[in-house]
Structure 1
Amino acid sequence: MYKKNYPVLWINPMPHRSLKLSIGNLSKNKIGKRVLAKIKQHLLMLRIVNDRFLVLSPIYIPLIDNRWIVKLNSRLIFLQIKFMMMILRIKPLVFITATANDVSKLISSFEKIPWVHNAGDLFHDLRNITHESRTRIYEIEKRIFNSADVVLAASNKIAMKIESMVNDKEKVITFPHGVDFNHFCKDFYHEIPLLQDLPKPIIGYFGSLTGANDQDILVEIAEEGFTLVLIGDQLYDYSRLYQYRNVHFFPAVDYRVLPDYARYFDLGILNWKKAEWIENCNPKKTYEYLALGLPIVSVPIPQLQSELEDLIYFASNPKDFLSQIRKALEENSPILIQRRKLRAQSVDWSLKLRVIEELINAR
């Protein structure tokens, strides 16, 4: 939307998991850094990136497992957003939501404004949430799905589940994630000295490192002697990998320079443990890997098996994962690299934006 010159007010969502469940077994130092970062973000409240992109971080009470506090937070967020829109004199063309924060009252207060909800995940299926929270989030998502004009589902499985929750199934559209193709596939990359001298081939992953990642797969790769590069914040205990000199951890990098790091990969991995949210998902990083021309080895993910069976190598256990890595590296070729890039280019976000633009232009 921003690249198409639409002004954007981005509203950071309220979390769906309590701090205790979110931090897992992080060290006290890392917990402190995360808490301080959150406090700083919300105290700032409004960040003006430029004259067309504003970021609002509403203040809320961080006791999200208490249903009365959740209701109070919904009201607080509603008032803050309405106030900010009034001060900034914002007249929305379209509402685009992507979380399970209940904004139906806010949006219904504006007449005839199209509402598009992008369901990249089903939040009530996510791990590490209490039964009470799961039930509450399910009811909120059901209300959102029924209230929105259009619901975009990132995978066929998400679409099927949403259809079972809504009265009007016609509003649900399977709408897989896209990619900013030209951001990842470009003519010039900056050099990263810490990466350019590492032994090849480099097996890489970027994204948060959590308890959902299958560390047994990472150990198998490390034991084989491959250079393993992991880019992202460690939100779980990864100390079992510290003994390997061929495993290199990098903190999360700014999205603007991520391709400069990832272009050193020779292969990208998707190594999550089997879970309901994995069965639902359609990982965004898949097409980012493809835009870089990288071969991919992944655990079985239904949407990827349906869409990209000809371009991704799948493995259901650590031993098979390692075998598929070897096979993918051996079979890699300029022709396959080009096929991957072309597939990624076909789902560039600029093409996918047309659905939302049609809603705006139809007003």
Structure 2
Amino acid sequence: MTGRHRRSGRAGRRLTVVVSGVPWDGVKGSERQLAEALTAHTDVLFVDPPVSPATPARYRGLSGAGRQWRPRSQPVSDRLTRLTPVALPGLSRPGVRAATWPMVRSQIRRTLREMRQWPTTVIACSTHDVLGRWGAGVTNVLYGTDDWVAGAELMRIDVKQIVAGEQRNLAGADVVLAVGPELAARWRESGAAPEVFPNGCDPDAYAGIGEVTPIELPPGFPDKIAGLSGQLSDRIDLRLLEAVADTGVGLLLVGPRDPGWQPQRVDALLARDNVHHTGPVPFERLLPCLARFGVGLTPYADTAFNRASFPLKTLEYLAAGLPVVSTDLPASRRLQAEFRELEITGDADSYALGVLDALATPPTEARVAARRAFARRHSWAARAARLVELLENREGTT
């Protein structure tokens, strides 16, 4: 195993294993942000989804690593270790799939032995088979970051496989977290008792936005800019981006692009003079991009998957002091009930008008401060503290 390391003197310290559904690199998702926030309370082993030597580069994150043949573990900080396990090529195919997660669990155990620690908590952030495999005294947590069943239907993945894995993990979980009440309601029908556990943000990561040098844009690019940070995929309502671009304001798109997402229409959008796509940007280099935004966009399509989601980007825009224009999602409505300034619109024309109104409103110090204060109430630090409280309450009753 490359990057082998030992942590002498750590025996007895609490350790949480976060088995993520998305890799550490790339768009900084809820799994990674929760894992980082948990380091205030516990050591963390973050486990990437497994890769194989045949895994395409676009699914290996932004680390720049070549094809991976062996598991790789490396310290990220004094309290956080990252493990990228390996599996056989075709790891999600029937037949091969049956061997994938036993292999991954074996690699996790080997890493734990090298760390000389055993987990007090294991958090599964997907439907994969990782709960109930670690012996007595380990708390098993299912963290529903999205409605995976709705996502499988959207992405034409084997829904029966996802449902079976979800039901197995619900049965094996001691604590169940659901990103929103929509997912929680569905899981209650299966007999679970989920805690609604919304996404958060890291306010400190955006505090210095006024001090960074904004990224360079093409000559002649409009001064008024609407920005979208995140994955460009079929979660986005492309009509809304086209409508914003039709107004003539600058449209700055920051994040990876799914090549299968309406390629001809997206190509046409990106070819416009007032549209610029940066491509994937690591979280650590995101601030100069956001410094160009005059308004942040949450233009999600109206799908069952999105209706059960909680867009990270909305809170992150607010943490950066930006106004936000969102489509009409249940999570956005809940945020708007607390923070009236959040703009929610309907069709493409009203969305574009909402963007123009936001860009025309001066960014006063009071407005910026109010946005940041609201985001701070929804920090990942607060979410991590709540999870620790849930775990401690359970330990006190067992």
In the TM superposition, what whole-angstrom CA distance separates every residue of 1:284-334 from its partner, at most 9, and x where no partner exists?
111001111211111211121122252322223211111111223334552
- The code of the aligned residue for 1:145 comes to L
2:168 aligns with 143
1:342 aligns with 373
- Residue of 348, 363, 369 corresponding to 1:318: 348
Moved more, 246-255 or 234-243: 234-243
Distance 1:187 1:34 in 2: 29
Distance 1:355 1:173 in 2: 10
- Residue of 211, 217, 221 corresponding to 1:189: 211
- Residue of 279, 287, 291 corresponding to 2:307: 279
* Contact 1:291–1:345 (CA under 8 A) maintained in structure 2: yes
Distance 1:34 1:358 in 2: 35
Query: Does 2:137 correspond to 1:112?
Result: yes
- Residue of 200, 206, 218 corresponding to 1:178: 200
Query: Does 2:233 correspond to 1:210?
Result: yes
Pairing of 1:239-258 with structure 2 (within 5 A):
239-258=267-286
**Secondary structure of the residue that 2:129 maps to in structure 1?**
coil
* Contact 2:72–2:83 (CA under 8 A) maintained in structure 1: yes
- Residue of 155, 159, 162 corresponding to 1:128: 155
Moved more, 5-14 or 330-339: 330-339
* Contact 1:104–1:147 (CA under 8 A) maintained in structure 2: yes
Change (3 A) 1:147 1:264: same
CA displacement at 1:34 relative to structure 2: 4.8
In the TM superposition, what whole-angstrom CA distance separates every residue of 1:201-248 from its partner, at most 9, and x where no partner exists?
110011111233222222222221101100111223221113311111
In the TM superposition, what whole-angstrom CA distance separates every residue of 1:164-188 from its partner, at most 9, and x where no partner exists?
12x242xx11111111111112376
Change (3 A) 1:42 1:358: farther
Identity across aligned pairs (percent)? 22
Distance 2:164 2:369 in 1: 44
Unaligned runs of 5+ in 1: 20-30
* Contact 1:156–1:303 (CA under 8 A) maintained in structure 2: no
Query: Does 2:86 correspond to 1:59?
Result: yes
Distance 1:53 1:185 in 2: 23
- Residue of 288, 298, 301 corresponding to 1:260: 288
Distance 2:254 2:378 in 1: 24
**Secondary structure of the residue that 1:311 maps to in structure 2?**
coil
CA displacement at 1:11 relative to structure 2: 0.3
Compute the TM-score of the two structures, normalised by the length of structure 1. Answer: 0.85
Unaligned runs of 5+ in 2: 1-36
* Contact 2:210–2:291 (CA under 8 A) maintained in structure 1: no
Compute the TM-score of the two structures, normalised by the length of structure 2. Answer: 0.78
1:234 aligns with 257
- The code of the aligned residue for 1:342 comes to A
Pairing of 1:341-360 with structure 2 (within 5 A):
341-359=372-390
Change (3 A) 1:175 1:360: closer
Distance 2:46 2:173 in 1: 18
* Contact 1:195–1:264 (CA under 8 A) maintained in structure 2: no
Change (3 A) 1:41 1:221: farther
Distance 2:380 2:217 in 1: 29
Which structure shows the bigger proportion of residues in helix conformation?
1
**Secondary structure of the residue that 1:341 maps to in structure 2?**
helix
Moved more, 262-271 or 233-242: 233-242
Distance 1:178 1:35 in 2: 25
Pairing of 1:274-313 with structure 2 (within 5 A):
274-309=302-337, 310-313=340-343
Distance 1:268 1:340 in 2: 12
2:3 aligns with none
Aligned CA RMSD, in angstroms, stands at 2.6
* Contact 1:13–1:101 (CA under 8 A) maintained in structure 2: no
- The code of the aligned residue for 1:149 comes to D
- Residue of 18, 40, 46 corresponding to 1:10: 46
In the TM superposition, what whole-angstrom CA distance separates every residue of 1:313-357 from its partner, at most 9, and x where no partner exists?
222321111111122333455233322211101011112211232
In the TM superposition, what whole-angstrom CA distance separates every residue of 1:5-54 from its partner, at most 9, and x where no partner exists?
63221101248xx98xxxxxxxxxxx665579686356452233244322
**Secondary structure of the residue that 2:216 maps to in structure 1?**
helix
Moved more, 143-152 or 196-205: 196-205
Aligned residues: 343
Distance 2:305 2:91 in 1: 21
Distance 2:237 2:208 in 1: 31
Change (3 A) 1:342 1:41: farther
2:17 aligns with none
